[in-house]
Structure 1
Amino acid sequence: MMVTEDPTVHQLRLLLTLAEELHFKRAATKLYLTQPALSQQIRSLEQRLGVQLFTRTSRRVELTPMGKALLPLVEKVVTATDDLRDAAARSAVGGERLRLGVCESFAALEATRSVLAAISELHPELGPDIEVVDFVEQMTVLDEDKIDAAFVYLPAPEGLHSHPLTTEPRVVCVASSDPLACYSSVTLADLADYPVVGLASQMFKEGRDFWAADPRPDGTPVRYTSHHVTRFESLLSMVSFGGAIAFVPSVAARLYPRPDIRYLPVLDLSDCTFGVVWRAGRDKPQLAVLAEICRRLRGQGLPAGIMQPPTPLPELEPLDV
């Protein structure tokens, strides 16, 4: 092989992930790529460098001796690029802090905490400043420019740029007194006769439809209660009284364990995605920093769940004073 063109930093990042996983499917999943797309990028990188980086068989992927020799240099290039971008972002940001909205207990999610920790560590000048919001407020405060971005479960309204972080199943919550509460799992057909707790009318239609699984795959019409819920705790309380259901992220079972609620897997219900959103077209350096941090963390594979409780401090002997 002969070197014909410089490699891109994006290709070098893909190389590092594949070198870590040594498995095209796992690496592609981690990178949010298809396997053919990842394979094509790696082949292109090998052609640009003029060397073979990996040996591939039907059973395994391994770095070649040249691939192992080049890996430390690749890491230096990627690290230097990240450092360059960070330095440029810090220079551009100036003294303006990043304002972030968090919907209720989403602050306890590992993804949220990871993003906030990365901002504080890499760009302490950005803050960030946090505002706790509900279902409706999370979008209105963006419209009113009271915050720069928000942590939300997708989908998001038109005109918002979204950066996904994690994906998890959706589950249905029913009253613990309901006959379905004794099931280990259900299907959407099992739920056809149950109304869905109504969300506030200010919430955008695509969001209301998604969280009601409306329309159902078989065309069954979805009925709604007359409620206009804006907060998650209120949603669960309405369910607990019986006769209605709500679809929620699976992490809710750990965030809101309640004796009057049962969370059930829904076998034919699609997953949901948690991420960060902001107004498209906003040319703010703070948002460029946020986007880069989200990209890096997603590439590392953020867990979909709540943060781990801290290790208890050891008991200390009283001091003699």
Structure 2
Amino acid sequence: MFEISQLRCFVAVAEELHFSRAAERLNMTQPPLSRQIRLLEHQIGVQLLERTSRTVRLTAAGKAFFPDAARILRMAEEAAATARRNAKGEKGSLSIGFTASFGYKLLPEIVRHLRELAPDVSLTLKELVTGAQLEALHSGVLDIGLVRPHNHEGELETALLGSEELYLAIPRQEADHWPEQPGLDCLHEKPFLMYSPYEARYFHDLLSGCFLQAEVLPQIVEYVAQIHTMLALVKSGIGVALIPKSACSLHFEGLLLRKVLTHPAKPVQMAYSYRKDNHNPALETLLQEVLPGFMAELMD
């Protein structure tokens, strides 16, 4: 069977219709070029070029062979380029898990930057709670998970992405009943919407610890798993709630959001996890060229 190098020689001569120009274009001398053409014709079993001392013309077989030869050459070059882009993390696929609150602001920004850097990478986005993401990482379903801090997993690499403040969500009609710069103490014995200890365990444990440290006992009226549901209940006047800053992009009419003074000032932590043995080049692009910029911003 003929070789790609032989096709490259034939296509150059067919396009130039001149051996000297084709040889110059390929950075080779004319004798090896002529030899490659003869080997190609021998492999195919037909004459492709008519040569005289002054002219070069395609035979009927050469004219028929040329379009397919050029197409095969393009496909080979594209395949090589694809392999190089995959190796550089500029092409391929990447599966990203995220919790709901990451999806409000941070995830769209990460996806935007990744697409600018590597537009040919195919993305799969899966909204899952942290526990489900860890299982998907172990099984190889996910390449990376945007998660809340969790217990160390031996085969997973986990790093802190950043942290953010808590905001108090109150009904607009009750604005005068709440301080402009609220602290946790203003929630003592007040109707409060708490995160579910099962579906939203991280936020449940975080707020429970904050309240214990501040010696605050809110009046918990409901346990809620999703932030958007929590905000809808706040709007209805059932109680108030604490949400991470990233969720402030959920605009609910009739609500006010006020930053809460806490110690530390940014108690909500964001992390990412991936398998240590995952060598997906697209993952390396995300880890090395996309996430560091967000980490610098979120750590300020």
Please point out which of 215, 218, 234 is paired with 2:214: 218
Please point out which of 106, 112, 131 is paired with 2:107: 112
The C-alpha deviation readout for 1:153-185, integer Å capped at 9, x for no partner, is x44454364444444321111223336555322
- One-letter amino acid of the structure 2 residue matched with residue 147 of structure 1: L
Please point out which of 280, 289, 292 is paired with 1:293: 289
- Deviation (angstroms), 1:246: 1.7
Structure 1 or 2, whichever has the larger Rg, is 2
The C-alpha deviation readout for 1:282-306, integer Å capped at 9, x for no partner, is 41123444322345314664699xx
Q: Distance in 2 between matches of 1:161 and 1:172?
A: 33
Q: Residue 257 of structure 1 corresponds to which residue in structure 2?
A: 251
Please point out which of 253, 273, 281 is paired with 1:278: 273
From the superposition, tell whether residues 202 and 236 of structure 1 become closer, same or farther in structure 2 (CA, over 3 Å).
same
Q: Residue 22 of structure 2 corresponds to which residue in structure 1?
A: none
Q: Distance in 2 between matches of 1:302 and 1:189?
A: 27
Contact 1:100 / 1:147 at 8 angstroms: preserved in 2? yes
Residues paired across the two proteins, number? 210
From the superposition, tell whether residues 209 and 245 of structure 1 become closer, same or farther in structure 2 (CA, over 3 Å).
farther
The C-alpha deviation readout for 1:35-57, integer Å capped at 9, x for no partner, is xxxxxxxxxxxxxxxxxxxxxxx
- What do you get for the CA RMSD once the two structures are aligned? 3.7
From the superposition, tell whether residues 265 and 302 of structure 1 become closer, same or farther in structure 2 (CA, over 3 Å).
closer
Contact 1:142 / 1:149 at 8 angstroms: preserved in 2? no
Q: Does 1:172 align with 2:164?
A: no
- Structure number having the greater strand percentage: 2
- Deviation (angstroms), 1:189: 1.1
Please point out which of 112, 130, 134 is paired with 1:142: 134
Please point out which of 237, 246, 262 is paired with 1:268: 262
Counterpart of 1:215 in 2: which secondary structure?
A: helix
From the superposition, tell whether residues 213 and 238 of structure 1 become closer, same or farther in structure 2 (CA, over 3 Å).
farther
Counterpart of 1:177 in 2: which secondary structure?
A: helix
Alignment gaps of 5+ in structure 2? 1-82
- Deviation (angstroms), 1:99: 0.8
- Deviation (angstroms), 1:239: 2.0
Counterpart of 2:127 in 1: which secondary structure?
A: strand
- One-letter amino acid of the structure 2 residue matched with residue 231 of structure 1: Q
Q: Residue 231 of structure 1 corresponds to which residue in structure 2?
A: 226
Q: Return the TM-score normalized by structure 2.
A: 0.55
From the superposition, tell whether residues 94 and 243 of structure 1 become closer, same or farther in structure 2 (CA, over 3 Å).
closer
Contact 2:192 / 2:240 at 8 angstroms: preserved in 1? yes
Q: Distance in 2 between matches of 1:138 and 1:206?
A: 9
Counterpart of 2:168 in 1: which secondary structure?
A: strand
Please point out which of 87, 101, 110 is paired with 2:97: 101
Please point out which of 244, 255, 260 is paired with 2:239: 244
- One-letter amino acid of the structure 2 residue matched with residue 120 of structure 1: R
The C-alpha deviation readout for 1:48-76, integer Å capped at 9, x for no partner, is xxxxxxxxxxxxxxxxxxxxxxxxxxxxx
Contact 2:191 / 2:240 at 8 angstroms: preserved in 1? yes
From the superposition, tell whether residues 91 and 235 of structure 1 become closer, same or farther in structure 2 (CA, over 3 Å).
same
Contact 1:172 / 1:264 at 8 angstroms: preserved in 2? yes
- Structure number having the greater helix percentage: 2
From the superposition, tell whether residues 303 and 194 of structure 1 become closer, same or farther in structure 2 (CA, over 3 Å).
same
From the superposition, tell whether residues 181 and 131 of structure 1 become closer, same or farther in structure 2 (CA, over 3 Å).
farther
Q: Sequence identity, in percent?
A: 15
- One-letter amino acid of the structure 2 residue matched with residue 292 of structure 1: Q
Q: Distance in 1 between matches of 2:102 and 2:201?
A: 22
- One-letter amino acid of the structure 2 residue matched with residue 234 of structure 1: T
- Once the two structures are superposed, the pairs formed by residues 170-209 of structure 1 within 5 Å of their partners are 170-178=166-174, 183-203=179-199, 205-209=201-205
- Deviation (angstroms), 1:191: 1.1
Q: Distance in 1 between matches of 2:94 and 2:202?
A: 28
Q: Distance in 1 between matches of 2:101 and 2:185?
A: 30
Q: Distance in 1 between matches of 2:97 and 2:240?
A: 27
Q: Distance in 2 between matches of 1:185 and 1:251?
A: 19
Contact 1:89 / 1:288 at 8 angstroms: preserved in 2? no
Counterpart of 2:182 in 1: which secondary structure?
A: coil
- Deviation (angstroms), 1:236: 0.7
